[in-house]
Every structure is written in structure tokens, then in C-alpha cells.
């Protein structure tokens, strides 16, 4: 787990690049969550908010969002871009106080950085009974399988893989329900677990794609000389523009109705 912690806290060094090169989230994401909730959402907590890519979508939908992020540089970048109904707080998920609860608690590409020990008990303490938990995963990949393989070969001398291992060690092809849905289905605190995929393709320049890779933790942690070399090698095998598979996998669950105090005792 220490290696994951280092990766999780590596993004502040590339906060401006993260804001520039990471794609934002479509408004359809808010529609998916609102439809599942069955009515308007007034309050939300986001953890691992980064530079506020997802924060903006929910805040502009009229939700009062408390956006939390452990890295000061990322949080400073977030504050430049979010509307006034966002409260920005520097904190890791594990350090959030449990004296407030929200109609929605969500995470955009950050849940895998949280500690597994006590994760769902803590989550249940933060979501109001009947409220919603949502997680969004966006594994940005080259859409062309030949280009994807060429980039992998170019990267291989420096990185065997540039992704984050699934927390339950099972590849998506082996199961109809992906993580974290697999854990939510086993949780006594959440029910009505749903998984859906929002299809999305983006076109960007190959240099902007390299810019995106520069914000991926596996590359951030490489020695600078190796990082520059691997980016040169990947750029050499790409055309001027590339198509990106940027589909969003969403997991939704509803907080079961029972006394919150009994949840707190388990945290």
C-alpha cells in the first residue's frame, strides 16, 4: 500500500498540466446520477476532487458541493475554476470528519486511492440514509488497438504497465460487475448497486495525448530523464492526431436506512 500512497499524492507536481490535459466530464453524468436519485440533489461531498473536473458539472447543476482533495497544489488549481457554491477543503478521505452527511457522496477517478480498511463503513457515515454514493472511472486509452500496442511497446523498457491495478485483482473481462460494484454488492450498508457505461470518444493531438500521460501517476514517478525518453518514444509511433476511448464507467448505490450512529461505531 505505501507505493499506492506515493502515487496518490504525486499529482500536485503536475497540477496545471492536469487541468490543461485531462478531459472534463459531460453534463450527462449529472443526469445519470439525478435519475438514479429519483429527485433533486441539494448537497454533495466529493473526495479526491483533483482540479475540480467533475466538481464543476455537479456544482453547475445547482448542488452545494463540498470538494475535498489531499494535495494543496491540486486544491489551489481547483479553486481557480469552480463556481461559488463549492466549498473546497484540503483533506484525504480517511481524515474527513463524520459529523456531517450528504445526499450524494461521489468520487471521479479517485476511489481506488482510498484505504480499503473501513472504506464502506466510513462512506456509509457520510451518505445520508436513502442517499446516493457514486463512483466514476475514466481509463483514457488509445482507441486504435494497433496504436495502443505500438505505444505499449514503446513504453515497455520503462514501464510494464501505466495503469492502476484493480483493487480486487480481477480484470473487468472476468466479471459482469466491475470494482467497486463488486465490493458494494457485498456491503451491508449499500443496496441497489448499478453499473453503467457512458460511451465517449475524443480526438486530440498526439502532443496533447502525451500531455495527458504526463499527468498519469506511473509516468509522474519516473526519473525525469526516463520520462522524457518514454514520451519521445511514444510520440514517434503516433500520428499527428489520435482518437481516444474516454468512456465513463459509473457505479451507483443507495445508502441503506438504519441508524447512522451504529455505522459510526464501526469506523
C-alpha grid cell, residue 120 = 464502506
- The answer to whether residues 128 and 103 touch, using CB atoms and an 8 Å cutoff, is yes
pLDDT of residue 3: 47
Please tell me whether the peptide bond between 116 and the residue prior to it is cis, using omega within 30 degrees of 0: no
In a domain, 120, yes or no: yes
pLDDT at 260: 41
Q: Map grid coordinates 466538481 to a residue.
A: 55
Residue 181, domain CATH: 3.40.50.150
pLDDT at position 164 is 75
- pLDDT score of 261: 42
Number of domains comprising the chain = 1
Any domain includes 223: no
Q: Are 255 and 133 in contact (CB under 8 A)?
A: yes
SS (H, E, C) the chain: CHHHHHHHCCHHHHHHHHHHHCCCCCCHHHHHHHHHHCCCCCEEEEECCCCCHHHHHHHCCCCEEEEEECCHHHHHHHHHHCCCCEEEEECCHHHCCCCCCEEEEEEECCHHHCCCCCHHHHHHHHEEEEEEEEEEECCCEECCHHHHHHHHHHHCCCCCCCCCCCCCCCCHHHCCCCCCHHHHHHCCCEEEEEEEEECCEEEEEHHHHHHHHCCCHHHHCCCHHHHHHHHHHHHHCCCCEEEEECCEEEEEEEECCCCHHHHHCCC
Residue 179 is assigned to a structural domain of this protein:
yes
Residue 165 confidence (pLDDT):
67
Q: Specify burial of residue 265 (Cβ count, 10 A radius: 0-12, 13-18, 19+).
A: exposed
Query: What pLDDT shows up at residue 163?
Result: 80
pTM for the model stands at 0.90
pLDDT at 172: 57
- Kindly list the averaged pLDDT for each block of 10 residues, start to end, along the chain of length 267: 50 89 97 97 98 98 97 97 97 96 97 95 97 96 98 96 74 76 95 97 98 95 96 98 97 81 46
What pLDDT sits at residue 10?
Answer: 63
CB 82 within 8 A of CB 104: no
**Predicted pLDDT at 262:** 46
Kindly calculate the radius of gyration of the chain based on its CA atoms and give it in whole angstroms. 19
Asked if residue 133 is part of any domain, the answer here is: yes
Question: Does 18 reside within a domain?
Answer: yes
Residue 40 placed within a domain: yes
- Residues of the domain holding 18: 2-140+168-201+246-264
User: Residue 170's pLDDT is what?
Assistant: 61
Amino acid at each position: 500500500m505505501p507505493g499506492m500512497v506515493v502515487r496518490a499524492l504525486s499529482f500536485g507536481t503536475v497540477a496545471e498540466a492536469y487541468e490543461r490535459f485531462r478531459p472534463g466530464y459531460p453534463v450527462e453524468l449529472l443526469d445519470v446520477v439525478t435519475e438514479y436519485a429519483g429527485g433533486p440533489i441539494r448537497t454533495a461531498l466529493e473526495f479526491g476532487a483533483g482540479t475540480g473536473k467533475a466538481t464543476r458539472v455537479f456544482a453547475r447543476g445547482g448542488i452545494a458541493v463540498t470538494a475535498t482533495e489531499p494535495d494543496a497544489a491540486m486544491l489551489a488549481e481547483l479553486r481557480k475554476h469552480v463556481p461559488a457554491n463549492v466549498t473546497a477543503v484540503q483533506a484525504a478521505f480517511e481524515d474527513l470528519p463524520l459529523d456531517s452527511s450528504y445526499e450524494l457522496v461521489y468520487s471521479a477517478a479517485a476511489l481506488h486511492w482510498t484505504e480499503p480498511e473501513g472504506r464502506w463503513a466510513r462512506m456509509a457515515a457520510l451518505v445520508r440514509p436513502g442517499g446516493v454514493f457514486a463512483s466514476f472511472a475514466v481509463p483514457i486509452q488509445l482507441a486504435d488497438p494497433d496504436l495502443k500496442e505500438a505505444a505499449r511497446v514503446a513504453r515497455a523498457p520503462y514501464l510494464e504497465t501505466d495503469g492502476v491495478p484493480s483493487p480486487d485483482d480481477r480484470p473487468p473481462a472476468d466479471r459482469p460487475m466491475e470494482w467497486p460494484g463488486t465490493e458494494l454488492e457485498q456491503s451491508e450498508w449499500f443496496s441497489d448497486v448499478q453499473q453503467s457505461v457512458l460511451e465517449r470518444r475524443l480526438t486530440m493531438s498526439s502532443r496533447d495525448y502525451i500531455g495527458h500521460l504526463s499527468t498519469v501517476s506511473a509516468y509522474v514517478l519516473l526519473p525525469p530523464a526516463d520520462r522524457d525518453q518514454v514520451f519521445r518514444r511514444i510520440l514517434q509511433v503516433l500520428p499527428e492526431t489520435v482518437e481516444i476511448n474516454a468512456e465513463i464507467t459509473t457505479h451507483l448505490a443507495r445508502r441503506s436506512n438504519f441508524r447512522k450512529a451504529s455505522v459510526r461505531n464501526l469506523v
